[in-house]
A and B are shown apart, each in its own frame.
Chain A
């Protein structure tokens, strides 16, 4: 699947109504989110055709993310199936006021992956799996060919300090809690908290400007 890069700037509903867009530096949600919202509202009413279209749009990012965290392809497939079913089951709970449709779905995906990787057996096998399915920290862009999004994310990650970048990638792609990140990076807990927060803000600004 190719990531939908879409038109560089879609007119949001608010703008269409003549309401000024929210803060210009806020990163717009990736992908065609107006479309995703419409699909999700159809899915909430049991529309299976809409769900199929939604699957085509979201399963790539969901599977890629789950696989990034879990490494193991079989487990990743299983968790992705759970995630997509949860999207179907809970579509009526999506609230556009609280974020984009893709953010909602991928938050579900990330939580499920993280819950799985932190479960007891998963923890025991974790180091072993890392050795079995090695993924370098900096291969962010390699799984997707010629994706604008991936390019920009990589470039913006490069713009962070080393600790910011490592803390964010270990937490998000590695599924580690921030105390675990602190141990791995050998820095203080408070430092990790603020580096993650400052790093994400900076990353958001960078992505916001390039979109």
Chain B
């Protein structure tokens, strides 16, 4: 056993330089978890390898930066690893920090979060509170989806909308800010659009302080766009006016 582990230990240099094949790499990583002195060696040698990398730095091609930044803006981030038991006891704060970092677009995330809070403070009765809490849980689930993505678009009448969507859950959350307040006989209606079809996806509540509370829409399967039209109060089954906003959803 001792001879075996000493032989494995000798692989630490090759491991730090990625010079092991996948099987051996995995075997060594198993060993590493049980061998603190190996981990220390590897960390030290990896730091040395980093100096070898720094020494060959070269100017990246022009244009790469822009492509990377654009791609990053559309790429959801991994959540931090599961909190340990000790951290879990802190409760709510951990839950919040677990789903907030997933949102790639800081500003949009703040908008959605503000809207979620707004939905909570506008309720009055216990019944509505229960409904809203269930909706907030569904919203939190979309926000926390590993494949969550964000899209934004401007309205032709002023204001803009932000959508967080998860194709895995086939759901999206729609929020808006700055949309003009409508007369009581009118309402903003949300549509899931695909070629030749518009499926009703809910009515937007009247804006409060310029923002509409989040609307959760399900059945996000074939739609590639989201639209908003102004309709008679109560909504319609198909759009009767030109959309004030059309948002192309990310792939």
Q: B-contacting residues of A (Cβ < 8 Å)?
A: 1, 3, 26-31, 44-48, 51-52, 55-56, 59-65, 67-68, 73, 77, 80-81, 84-85, 88-93, 98-100, 102-103, 106-107, 109-111, 114, 140-141, 143-144, 147, 149-150, 152-154, 168, 171-173, 175-179, 181, 190, 192-194, 196-201, 203-204, 207
Contact yes or no, B55 A60, CB < 8 A: no
Q: How far is the CA of A203 from the CA of B55 in the complex (A)?
A: 13
Residue of A whose beta carbon sits closest to that of B45: A200
B50 at interface by CB-CB < 8 Å: yes
Please name all residues of chain A whose beta carbon is closer than 8 Å to the beta carbon of B80 when the two chains form the complex. 44, 92-93
Question: CA of A194 to CA of B100 in the docked complex: distance in angstroms?
Answer: 46
What 8 A-B pairs are tightest by C-beta distance, nearest first?
A197-B13, A64-B58, A153-B55, A196-B13, A171-B19, A63-B60, A204-B48, A60-B57
Given contacts A77-B64, A172-B52, A193-B11, A29 and B75 within 8 Å (CB-CB): no
Tell me if A55 and B53 are in contact (CB < 8 A): no
By a CB distance below 8 angstroms, the chain A residues around B46 are: 99, 103, 107
Chain A residues contacting B14 (CB-CB under 8 Å) are: 171, 177-178, 192-193, 196-197
The reply on B127 being an interface residue by CB < 8 A is: no
Of the residues B18, B52, B77, contact of A46 by C-beta under 8 Å: B77
Q: Please, which residues of chain B bring their CB within 8 A of the CB of A28?
A: 47
Residues of B within 8 A of A60 (CB): 57-60
| Cross-chain pair count, CB within 8 angstroms | 229
Q: Is B21 an interface residue (CB 8 A)?
A: yes
Query: Contacting chain A: which of B104-112, B132-140, B199-207?
Result: B104-112
CB contacts (< 8 Å) of A59 on chain B: these are 60, 64-65, 68
How distant is the Cα of A190 from the Cα of B13 in the complex, in angstroms? Answer: 12
What are some 28 contacts across the A-B interface (CB < 8 A)?
A: A3-B54, A26-B44, A30-B50, A46-B77, A48-B105, A60-B57, A61-B56, A63-B57, A63-B60, A64-B56, A65-B57, A73-B61, A81-B64, A85-B71, A85-B72, A88-B75, A89-B77, A92-B81, A93-B80, A98-B43, A102-B50, A150-B56, A172-B17, A173-B56, A178-B14, A196-B13, A198-B13, A204-B48
B56 near A178 (CB under 8 angstroms)?
no
B232-249 CB mask vs A (1 if < 8 Å, else 0) is: 000000000000000000
Give the complex CA separation of A172 and B196 in angstroms: 55
Whether A204 lies near B47 (C-beta < 8 A) is yes
**Residue among A1, A199, A207 making CB contact with B51, cutoff 8 Å:** A207
Shortest CB-to-CB span from B174 to chain A, Å, is 20
| With A61-B57, A85-B68, A109-B53 already in contact, 4 other A-B pairs whose C-beta atoms are closer than 8 Å | A27-B48, A85-B75, A171-B19, A193-B14
Q: Which of A56, A65, A177, A193 contacts B56 (CB 8 A)?
A: A65
* Residue of B whose beta carbon sits closest to that of A211: B51
- Residue in B10, B44, B78 with the greatest tally of chain A CB atoms within 10 Å: B44
How many residues of B are counted as interface, with CB atoms below 8 angstroms from the partner's CB atoms? Answer: 53
Decide yes or no: A27 and B47 within 8 Å by CB, A60-B58, A64-B58, A110-B53 being known contacts.
Answer: yes
Q: Is B119 an interface residue (CB 8 A)?
A: no
Nearest neighbor of A190 in chain B, beta-carbon distance: B10
CB <8 Å contact, B50 and A144: no
Residues of B within 8 A of A171 (CB): 14, 17-19
**How many angstroms between the C-alpha atoms of A89 and B146 in the bound complex?**
11
Nearest-Cβ distance from residue A76 to partner chain B, whole angstroms: 9
> Given the complex of chains A and B, what is the CA–CA distance between A65 and B75 in angstroms?
24
**CB <8 Å contact, A181 and B53:** no
Report the separation of the CA atoms of residues A152 and B20 in the bound assembly, to the nearest whole angstrom: 27
> Once the chains bind, are A200 and B49 in contact (CB under 8 Å)?
yes
A171 vs B20: C-alpha distance when bound (angstroms): 9
User: B104 to chain A: which residues have CB within 8 Å?
Assistant: 46, 48
Which of A1, A3, A65, A77 has its CB near the most chain B CB atoms (within 10 A)? A65
Shortest CB-to-CB span from B239 to chain A, Å, is 34
- In the complex the two chains form, is A177's CB within 8 Å of B19's CB? yes
Distance in angstroms between the alpha carbons of A48 and B77 in the assembled complex: 12
Q: Which residues of A contact B69 (CB under 8 A)?
A: 48, 51-52, 55
Q: Which of B18, B43, B64, B101 contacts A110 (CB 8 A)?
A: B18
Once the chains are docked, how many angstroms separate the CA of A114 from the CA of B47? Answer: 18
A64 with B77: in contact, given A168-B17, A197-B13 (CB under 8 Å)?
no
